Chains A and B, each alone.
Chain A
Amino acid sequence: MYQIIRQILKTGIKTETPPQPDHALRVDGQQLQEKILRHIGRALAIRHVDAGSCNGCELEIHALNNAYYNIEGLGIKFVASPRHADMLLVTGPVSRHMETALKRTYDAMPEPRLVVAVGDCGCTGGIFSSANSPGGENYASCGKISNVIPVDVAIPGCPPTPVALLQGILAAVSVSTKSENT
């Protein structure tokens, strides 16, 4: 016990200041209504679904929980059940074998609900999609996430860094730039 306490004291506080939301990551035409966003505020419950990623994006989502980014310190929590979630964080192109599971998870969420697509694959189908198939579909993949469920914010990157993820998540829950400025 003594060793543990000594190590905790020696480590100190590593948490860094969180980044600002990046409103550019919002998907056009799907900006959320201000009152919904007010409703959720900044205490946010996220359910993550890997719909077919290479597991690279998951590594960065895991990193959000480390002491440097300390996402829980911002009032944001990953939850086990979609019924408890305000936001669905989805990675990967959506494999056709995950299509039903993703839809069911989305359907199980209470409204209002937000969807954030993570990574180049989540935004466009990424490297797994051929140039001949613009939405990213093939025999095994539905391509980008918005092909399967509506997406509010899309965060590109391969994988997006934890800071980019935070900016995207915060953009989804903060009121729109326009109403903030007025």
Chain B
Amino acid sequence: MKLEEFTSRFNKLPGAMPIWHGIVDVAQFRSLCEQVKHDGGKLVALWGSDESASGAGYALHVALVTAAGMLCLTLPVSAERPAYPDISDLFPGAGRMQRAVVDLLGLHATGADDQRKWLRHGSWPGNAHPLRKNFDGNSVSKTETDAYPFITVSGDGVHEIPVGPVHAGTIEPGHFRFSIIGDRVLRLEERLGYKHKGIEKRFESMTLEQGAKLAGRISGDSTVAYAWAYAQAVESVTATAPPPRALALRAVLLELERIHNHLGDLGYLGNDVALSFGFSQFWILKEDVLRLNGELFGHRYLMDRVVPGGVACDLDHRDIERMLQLFDHLEQEIRILKDIYDEHAGAQDRFLTTGRVTPDLAAQLGLTGLPGRASGQAWDMRAQFPCTPYDQLEVRMATHRNGDVAARVIVRFEEVMESLRLIRLILAELPAGALRATVTAAPEHALGIGWVEGWRGEILVALHTGKNNGIHRLHPHDPSWQNWPVLEHAIIGNIVPDFPLINKSFNLSYCGVDL
């Protein structure tokens, strides 16, 4: 099958986003993946599911994106031989996703280079697979030692620095192993999975209604993006059309989330180069936004405000005035702070050329989202596949080609400004009307996909429905899956003390990938 044909040969999923789904055989699976890669497309997510209840063994699913939209492939996998072809040669980011599928479901990628475990440490044995339907999620097995085989670098003068899982600051846990010579990093190896708390299994005990709250807590800093993606998935399987006012308000919430996260990062990036003035200033602005969120929407981080069918909040004209007033202040302050950052020799000296990912390397490794845009990967779904209300806004995508910390700082500055502009436009034409449509029960065996450009990058929620409006399988996908492996490259040749700065400039999620 030719790639161009997918929009005519596959089923278009109902809902807000251009997504087509098809069931394929092994040959088609590999060939379509190759064509997507060849065509300049990318892998968004990869997950598996247990279909033994309907007598079909297992299934492996991938979400790929091309210029025409998203192509979701389902490959049936037999229970007798639970294997499928490796695609990490095409999309290096698939490597860890495939390893997680082995840990959770016992499906193997034939021919993959790296066959080590990933999400599993020692909490369940290697022959048990939590996402199989016959695995009891509340069972507790004896803890084994992890004994993870790290790759060691040898040679004269090479030594290792192990860091984590508990880090020096208020950060999520993970383990980093640096192989260094002098002060220079030869190699970094990440070991994540410390926060694995069984979120995907937990979803399977929930109804579509209950799942909304959990979806908003996969990664608390991206709660709006996840909640919207979840809502899109539910709306797709239940053929629900949220009212226009709700869609507009969702975009306001999503952009507020982008603003507060970017402001926080800009502050920390100043702090990491000994410009603590930057931290103080940006965190005042961030707090101003959080307080406004709390006042107008009832939650500082906007949790549970996007719900299937619409939103659980509203704005009146006084609220809008309050918001616009704060925006004027923010814009003025951010301009001043940008000038200060731009002209601060010490800060720029640390930002420029540090942690560089060239556009070629970024394309090869599949760097995505915000760091991708700082390395010339021009993908922003708000601009390319705009759902309502973005389709009326002509979103200006921020892209740069230097791929260093400085570029990731600039992208953040530009995106904050763009978010302010977008919210103003939305509020100027806020449609009147209802806030929430009724969501009916979903049919069994349906697939719905939500796909939202969060502040880190593309958030995907794939929902397979079960009986009685329940969840058969839910895979939430964070762009950090793709970007963590690239961070290992970004640090090569840099000095160890620059790692916190480089890491911060990516600001990837741990809980979003540990699940």
Binding site for B on A (CB under 8 A): 3-4, 7-8, 11, 14, 48-63, 65-68, 78, 80-81, 92-93, 95-99, 101, 105, 127-128, 130, 132-133, 137-141, 158-159, 161
Contact = CB atoms under 8 A, between A and B. Distances in A.
Contact of A67 (B141, B283, B303): B283
Interface string B209-252: 00001100111110100000000000000000000000000000
A15 B303 CA distance: 26
Interface stretch (B63-71, B189-197, B361-369): B189-197
B301 A159 contact: yes
Given A3-B339, A137-B138, A159 B220 contact: yes
Contacts of A49: 166, 173
B172 interface: yes
Q: Which 5 A-B pairs have the closest CB atoms?
A: A56-B220, A140-B198, A80-B168, A66-B283, A96-B123
Given A56-B301, A56-B303, A67-B287, 17 more contacts: A3-B336, A3-B339, A7-B277, A55-B219, A55-B509, A56-B223, A59-B221, A67-B283, A98-B194, A105-B166, A127-B214, A130-B202, A139-B135, A139-B136, A140-B130, A159-B301, A161-B294
A92 B140 contact: no
Given A50-B172, A55-B172, A130-B202, A68 B165 contact: no
Contact of B205 (A60, A105, A130): A130
B405 to A, nearest CB: 20
Given A3-B340, A54-B219, A97-B121, A140 B197 contact: yes
B356 interface: no
Contact of B511 (A55, A132, A159): A55
B283 A140 contact: no
Contacts of B205: 130
B170 interface: yes
Contacts of B511: 52-55
Interface residues of B, number: 61
Contacts of B165: 98, 101
A171 B196 CA distance: 31
B336 A7 contact: yes
B194 to A, nearest CB: 5
B452 to A, nearest CB: 17
B137 interface: yes
A3 B290 CA distance: 26
15 contacts: A7-B337, A53-B220, A55-B511, A58-B171, A62-B264, A68-B287, A95-B195, A95-B196, A96-B121, A96-B143, A98-B194, A101-B166, A128-B202, A139-B124, A139-B141
Contacts of A55: 172, 219-221, 509-511
B284 A14 contact: yes
B286 interface: yes
A129 to B, nearest CB: 8
A111 to B, nearest CB: 19
A81 B169 CA distance: 9
Given A11-B281, A95-B196, A59 B220 contact: yes
A67 B280 contact: yes
Nearest to A58: B170
B325 interface: no
A66 B287 contact: yes
B384 to A, nearest CB: 28
A130 B136 CA distance: 12
A138 B137 contact: yes
A62 B201 CA distance: 30
A62 B138 contact: no
Q: Could you say which of B136, B223, B290 has the most chain A C-beta atoms within 10 Å of its C-beta? A: B290
A147 to B, nearest CB: 11
Contacts of A60: 300
A7 B281 contact: yes
Interface string B410-427: 000000000000000000
A99 B201 CA distance: 20
A158 B141 CA distance: 29
B139 interface: yes
B220 A54 contact: yes
Contact of B193 (A14, A92, A97): A97
A58 B124 CA distance: 28
Given A96-B143, A139-B201, A59 B301 contact: yes
B283 A98 contact: no
Contacts of A132: 138
B432 to A, nearest CB: 32
B173 A57 contact: no
Interface string B467-479: 0000000000000
Contacts of A128: 197-199, 202, 214, 217
Interface string B272-305: 0000010011011011001000100000110100
Given A93-B197, A101-B165, A127-B213, A139 B123 contact: yes
A108 B122 CA distance: 23
A52 B196 CA distance: 7
Interface in B141-157: 141, 143
A132 B206 CA distance: 13
A141 B198 contact: yes
A50 B220 contact: no
Contacts of B173: 49-51, 98, 101
Given A96-B123, A132-B138, A139 B198 contact: yes
A2 to B, nearest CB: 10
Nearest to A125: B197
